[in-house]
Amino acid sequence: MDITPLIDPLNDAQRTAVTAPFQSALVLAGAGSGKTRVLVHRIGWMIQVENLPAYSILAVTFTNKAAREMLGRVESLMQQDASAGMWIGTFHGLAHRFLRRHSAAANLPDTFQVLDSDDQQRLIKRIIRSAELDETRYPPKQIQWYINAHKDEGRRAAHVQTDGTFWETMQQIYKTYEDLCQRSGLVDFAELLLRCLETLRDTPELLDQYRNRFRYVLVDEFQDTNTIQYAWLKLLTQGQNNLFVVGDDDQSIYGWRGARIENIHSFQSDYPDHRLIRLEQNYRSTANILNAANALIANNENRMGKELWTDDKDGDPITVYDAFNEQDEAYFVVNRIKQWVAEGNLREQAAILYRSNAQSRLFEERLVSAAIPYRVYGGLRFFERAEIKTALAYLRLIANRHDDASFERVVNLPTRGIGARSMDAVREIAKAQKCSLWDSTRMLCRDGGLSARAVNALKAFLELIENHAIAADSMPLHDQVRLVIEKSGLIAHYQKEGQEKGATRIDNLKELVNAARQFSNEAEIDAENMKELDLFLSHAALEAGDAQGDTDEDCVQLMTLHSAKGLEFDLVFLVGMEEGLFPGQKSLEEIGRLEEERRLCYVGMTRARQQLVICHAESRRLYGREHRSEASRFLREIPSQYLQEIRMQGQVSRPVTAYGNHDKTKTNRDNGDSTSGFMLGQQVNHSKFGTGIILQQEGDGNHARVQINFESAGTKWLVLAYANLTAVS
């Protein structure tokens, strides 16, 4: 066995981790230190050198993307099929697989379906309405959060402590929600994990079986695990001391959604024989960037302790640009990108990272007018689109007649004469009989009680679904999908909707048929007896697909700091680095949140390979109001030796630590907003130089001068009295 490819590409620390004896291990892997490589090679080492059966390995990640990447790299590292039998996937995906296999033990129907958070919210809204509660006092969003937070901590409605009528009502809603999901065969994301944990815990045979099978458990991004995920890992590995986790406490940025950074500390006491390995050599960034990031993160307390280093050269200093306002910031960034592209670099190697999605717009506008292709990450994904969810709801109802959420969604979409009053009657009966909407509709049709017209409409709907189910039974999956979107009248419905929008929706529906075909081709139908349709529907919920269609084009990348985690770019812009925005106002209220914001900043900085540019604006229009803002404290926490502050086009270079003394240099434009009739950041037109934006202003009366950044003519100082500027509206 030639083990060179397994071992050779590793440094000492990585090799220690990969070849560690089989005991538990905690690998603290800094940004860009090769953590995925360690996991992949560890798996390779276990299979190829230690000759362990792939069957006994369980590898867990947080996102489907990470799972796919790991599997791909494992497969290309080893001979074909060496990894067959290994379980690799997300916490949710693995829990789902378990529940499909053991639905009876988990007390679920074998047709159970996965509820995504949109479905979940609709369901909660329905419960509030049906209980005739005040939606302003019990906002569905907040209730959703309440339910999920409890589930993430492993608490059922019955376990929740109540205090006062408000919380009693909340608990009651939680209880009702649990019952409704159980009756409809619906499982939300948190439920997948909780149900899996409870089933394992309460079924000794299954627990034994899985403990014996998965002798080697590996976890990626361990700092992001929540209470229940860690409990699940502990349950599976208890007494076996075989848990190998990789993570970075400095990159924990999901505390607000339940991730427990403390799990890293608990791990150390729960697995006292563990081995601790630090990966501190960074292969990504220049020394300047790395040192600056180290200095920033050193301001956090309670770290595990870790300092990244590199063999790389110092590189360029970090550029700091203090913009006058958000417009100026966008101009500056886009100009730098133009320059970057002109130097022969790839657009896709430049990324603009911001704290909140709302910040993307200005950059988009500027990029559009500069004719630079870009791609914004985030937003609606394929399986989250309304028309797709509606088509899927038909399929879900076909798969499981008692899926109330789907019933509600499609019963009158497209409209087929089943109005609010009919549905009120249907819900009434369902509530009284504690049965599904489907059964209650059948009762209503049989026993009457509604106008003949309403009954006919309901009957027609029942028949539509039943006929479908019969016809679909013997059909390949993609034909079932095609049939549903045609027969349900969805295509006709969207055709009526009109030009642009309707056409895209119909295209999407057709794409759904393709997605189904592709799913049939690729999905290995596991030994477990699952219907292909059930699997496809779960797949749609668990993997919502990409947000944007794949662009082959070379594009500038725009995304939030959160979604940048795990990625890297040659040139990174960290924009909006201002107090109140980053760190956000709300982060200052709760303890611990500021440190998480700092980690977020650290994550952002360490995305950069070659060049890092940090921008902040002295004034910013936010929610229609003008705000004056100070530079972010994070900026001040970076030693000035790594920074180079610039004004327009690098004219002035000042040490950034002098922020406190800036006022003198600033005064001449601080009150410059109104004296000339022009505003900083305003677009103006000049007869000779064309359009530009006002950057600075000084002096008054006849001596008043403004600095303007012209789109084509560059930056110029002009005397207002002679410039003859006109405002561009």
Partner DNA sequence: GACGGAATCGTTTTT
Partner DNA sequence: CGATTCCGTC
Q: Which of 256, 528, 592, 661 binds DNA (CB under 7 A)?
A: 256
**What does each C-alpha distance from 487 to 281, 479, 480, 483 come to in angstroms?**
59, 12, 10, 6
Cα–Cα distance between 99 and 343 in angstroms, integer? 54
Distances (CA, A) of 680 to 364, 609, 627, 695: 21, 34, 13, 6
36 is catalytic: yes
The single-letter code of the amino acid at 33 is S
- The only residue of 5, 72, 419, 650 in contact with DNA, by rule CB under 7 A: 419
| 35 noted as active-site residue | yes
Size of the site for DNA (CB under 7 A): 39
Site for DNA in 580-609 (CB under 7 A): 583-584, 586-587, 593, 597
Which position among 357, 508, 610, 691 is part of the footprint of DNA (CB under 7 A)? 357
Please give the angle made by the CA atoms of 568, 24 and 17, to the nearest 5 degrees: 45
The answer to whether 683 and 671 are in contact (CB under 8 A) is no
Closest contact distance (angstroms) between CB of 155 and DNA is: 17
Task: Please identify which residue in 93, 315, 566, 681 interacts with DNA, judged by CB under 7 A.
Answer: 93
Which DSSP category does 580 fall into? B
> What does the DSSP 8-state code read for residue 549?
P
- Spot the catalytic one: 36, 121, 203, 683: 36
> Quick check: 227 binds DNA (CB under 7 A)?
no
Residues forming beta bridges with residue 34, ordered by sequence position: none
CA gap 190, 182 in Å, rounded: 14
The answer to whether 607 is a known catalytic residue is yes
Q: CB atoms < 10 A from the CB of 26, how many?
A: 22
User: Using CB under 7 A, which residues numbered 1 to 60 contact DNA?
Assistant: none
Least spacing, CB of residue 589 vs DNA, in Å: 8
The answer to whether 257 contacts DNA (rule: CB under 7 A) is yes
- CB of residue 660 to DNA, shortest distance in Å: 26
List % helix, strand, coil for the chain (3-state, nearest 5): 50, 15, 30
Q: Which of 15, 35, 306, 389 does the annotation list as catalytic?
A: 35
Instruction: Tell me the window of 46-54, 267-275, 414-422, 716-724 that interacts with DNA (CB under 7 A).
Output: 414-422
State the binding string over 520-559 for DNA (x if CB under 7 A, else -). Answer: ----------------------xxx--------------x
Q: Which of 111, 113, 144, 251 is catalytic?
A: 251
- Judged by beta carbon, residue 229 or residue 294, the one nearer DNA is 229
CB of 267 to DNA, least distance (A): 21
> Active-site residue among 119, 191, 220, 618?
220
303 touches DNA by CB under 7 A: no
Q: How far is the CB of 20 from DNA (least distance, A)?
A: 28
Residues in the chain: 729
Answer yes or no: 220 catalytic. Answer: yes
310 is catalytic: no
* 428 a catalytic residue: no
The answer to whether 391 touches 481, Cβ cutoff 8 Å, is yes
Residue 713: C-alpha distances to residues 369, 686, 691, 692, 693 (Å): 16, 10, 9, 9, 12
Nearer to DNA, 250 or 645 (CB): 250
User: Tokens 């679904």 — which residue?
Assistant: 465
- Considering only 189, 214, 382, 710, the residue that binds DNA (CB under 7 A) is 189
CB atoms within 10 A of CB 137: 10
Q: Give the separation between CA 569 and CA 611, rounded to whole angstroms.
A: 9
Q: What is the DSSP letter of 632?
A: P
How far apart are CB 57 and DNA at their closest, in Å?
A: 20
Q: Are 401 and 463 in contact (CB under 8 A)?
A: no
- Residues in contact with DNA, shown as a per-residue x/- string from 365 to 404 under the rule CB under 7 A: -------------x--------------------------
CB of 512 to DNA, least distance (A): 18
Query: On the CB side of 554, how many CA atoms lie within 13 Å of its CA?
Result: 9
Distance CA 234, CA 487 (A): 49
Query: Toward DNA, which CB reaches closer, 310 or 587?
Result: 587
> Strand 714-719 and strand 705-710: pairing?
antiparallel
Give me the residues that bind DNA (CB under 7 A), please.
62-65, 90, 92-93, 116-117, 136, 189-190, 256-257, 355-358, 378, 412, 415, 417, 419, 542-544, 559-560, 562-563, 583-584, 586-587, 593, 597, 621, 623-624
Q: Which residues are tagged catalytic?
A: 35-36, 220-221, 251, 607
